[in-house]
């Protein structure tokens, strides 16, 4: 059923990805995406229950940060030709999301010393990520995503081994 509406899904998906790109760049700031809910409760730490609640709070507070990128990846994955390619996109995203936390835990002392210099490049990374999302959304809107994918595979043959 979804194949019969592939054009419409590409248009809607492309518009959503472009919207997420504009949001990441800071050019589009709808108020409903700016809301947050923070419970003001003191939880005892040092116990499994406290760690669980802290993890839930961390995940909930990071949702606005990772939501646009995850939404874009889910949209591209849903529009991909096979389930395997969509799963590969999500697996690579998950590795990319989790690896910095594992590395940060291993090198916490050194990381704290470098945190200020890392923060300076953060805005530049947001500009790159938002620009890539806008480009990918435009490729989806115009139906050129497949042509771009073929160009990427021809230019970087190593990508064919992923997924």
pLDDT band at 78 (very low <50, low <70, confident <90, very high): confident
pLDDT digits (tens, 9 = 90+) for 82-105: 888 888 888 888 888 788 778 877
How far is residue 157's CA from residue 16's CA, in Å, rounded to a whole number?
Answer: 29
Average pLDDT of the chain is 81
pTM value is: 0.53
Tell me the percentage of the chain whose pLDDT exceeds 90: 17
Say yes or no to pLDDT of 112 above 90: no
What are the residue boundaries of the structural domains of the chain, listed by start? Answer: 3-161
Is there a contact between 17 and 75 (Cβ–Cβ < 8 Å)? Answer: yes
Mean pLDDT, range 9-29, rounded to an integer: 91
Q: Please give the full DSSP string across the chain, using - where no structure is assigned.
A: -TGGGHHHHHHHHHHHHHHHHHHHHTS---GGGS-----------SSHHHHHHHHHHHHHHHHHHHHHHHHHHHHHHHHSSSHHHHHHHHHHHHHHHHHHHHHHHHTHHHHHHHHHHHHHHHHHHHHHHHHHHHHHHHHHHHT-HHHHHHHHHHH-GGGGG--
How many residues appear in the chain? 163
pLDDT at 21: 94
How far is residue 78's CA from residue 104's CA, in Å, rounded to a whole number?
Answer: 32
More confident residue, 29 or 116: 29
Q: Give the range with max mean pLDDT: 6-20, 42-56, 87-101.
A: 6-20
Mean pLDDT, range 4-18, rounded to an integer: 89
pLDDT at 134: 95
Say yes or no to pLDDT of 135 above 90: yes
Report the 10 Å Cβ neighbour count for 48.
7
Say yes or no to pLDDT of 45 above 60: no
């Amino acid at each position: 059923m979804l194949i019969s509406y592939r054009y419409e899904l590409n248009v809607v998906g492309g518009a959503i990805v472009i919207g997420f790109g504009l949001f990441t760049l800071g050019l589009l700031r709808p108020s409903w995406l700016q809301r947050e809910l923070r419970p003001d409760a003191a939880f005892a730490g040092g116990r499994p229950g406290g760690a669980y609640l802290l993890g839930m709070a961390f995940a909930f507070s990071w949702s606005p940060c990772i939501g646009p990128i995850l939404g874009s990846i889910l949209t591209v994955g849903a529009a991909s030709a096979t389930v395997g390619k969509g799963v590969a996109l999500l697996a690579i995203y998950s590795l990319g999301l989790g690896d910095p936390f594992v590395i940060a835990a291993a090198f916490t002392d050194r990381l704290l010393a470098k945190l200020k210099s890392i923060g300076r490049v953060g805005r530049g990374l947001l500009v790159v990520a938002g620009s890539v999302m806008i480009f990918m959304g435009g490729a989806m809107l115009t139906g050129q995503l497949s042509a771009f994918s073929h160009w990427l595979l021809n230019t970087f043959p190593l990508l064919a081994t992923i997924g």
